[in-house]
Structure 1
């Protein structure tokens, strides 16, 4: 992913913080939910009675938002090399055990968009609620390198 392209779909903070902060060649991205043009595309806790695949689009949207937020910090001639660290917060009821399968949608998205490096380390955490009743929230740390 290269060159910042800020438009209506570029993630905006939902509070008093920056969506991404850069230190040297590392970009720290704030928690990203599955918002498109500012509105959540999916809400509520993960339903263990539904197919995990029903959450793919929401997780992929959050992952895309994370890359878009990171891209706002890129300079001319730079790209995102890899996701160094990924934390996936899953809004799940007690007893839900497939957090890693939900997180796999994000890992696959990053691999598809960044190549085989995709994701370095990853954590999936179950929580009882998320902001605006989002089903997932992703926090990423990415590394930057020169394109080419």
Structure 2
């Protein structure tokens, strides 16, 4: 089990994890094989509503995009916790984050937006939160969300 209490870190950051959302189509919210836990892409839902709507570079500014990426990662962590029987101490490492940024064709600040999720991963999980990452711009996301984040964890 982890030497650090991730729940305490979340509380210190003022983050209360929501209930893990049920999938809205024919897929699993999480999938585990061996010590790998994969969390399907999560949207920036806060209290059941999207934090913002639209595209970066058109409807959503970069600062709001960063907040959306943080909200996405909060939902990723909630999914991981649910998959681990409510025990976040079973997380050994955040292996990889994947970020999808709905944006205009001339928007190029994807990395800065995705830093919202990456920075939060390190704030919550410390060195175990340092991860590989891909961030890509896309023309649209489900429900007109501006950001979606998926994750791979190494777990006990």
Q: TM-score, normalised by structure 2?
A: 0.80
State the Cα deviation string for residues 29-55 of structure 1 (Å, max 9, x = none). 111110124321211101369652222
Structure 2, unmatched stretches of 5+, are 1-5, 8-16
> In the aligned structure 1, how far is the partner of 2:59 from the partner of 2:52?
16
Q: Which has the higher strand share?
A: 1
Tell me what 2:67 maps to: 57
CA contact (8 A) 1:12 1:38 kept: no
Q: Which residue of 2 aligns with 1:105?
A: 116
- Cα distance change, pair 44–115 in 1 and its aligned pair in 2 (3 A): same
Q: Please give the TM-score of this superposition, normalised by the length of structure 1.
A: 0.84
Q: Distance in 2 between matches of 1:50 and 1:29?
A: 25
Equivalent pairs counted in the alignment come to: 141
Cα deviations across residues 63-118 of structure 1 (Å, max 9, x unaligned)? 01011111112158642122101110000101111111111111001001111231
Change (3 A) 1:59 1:25: same
Range with bigger deviation, 84-93 or 43-52: 43-52
Aligned-residue CA RMSD (Å): 2.2
Q: Structure 1 stretches (4+) deviating beyond 6 angstroms?
A: none
Distance in 2 between residues matched to 1:41 and 1:76, nearest whole Å = 25
Segment of structure 1 superposing worse, 34-43 or 135-144: 34-43
Relative to total residues, which structure has the larger helix share, 1 or 2? 2
Q: Is there any run of 5+ residues in structure 1 with no aligned partner, and where?
A: none
The CA distance in 2 between the partners of 1:103 and 1:121, in whole Å, is 12
Taking a change above 3 Å as real, the CA distance of residues 51 and 128 of structure 1, as seen in their structure-2 partners, is: closer
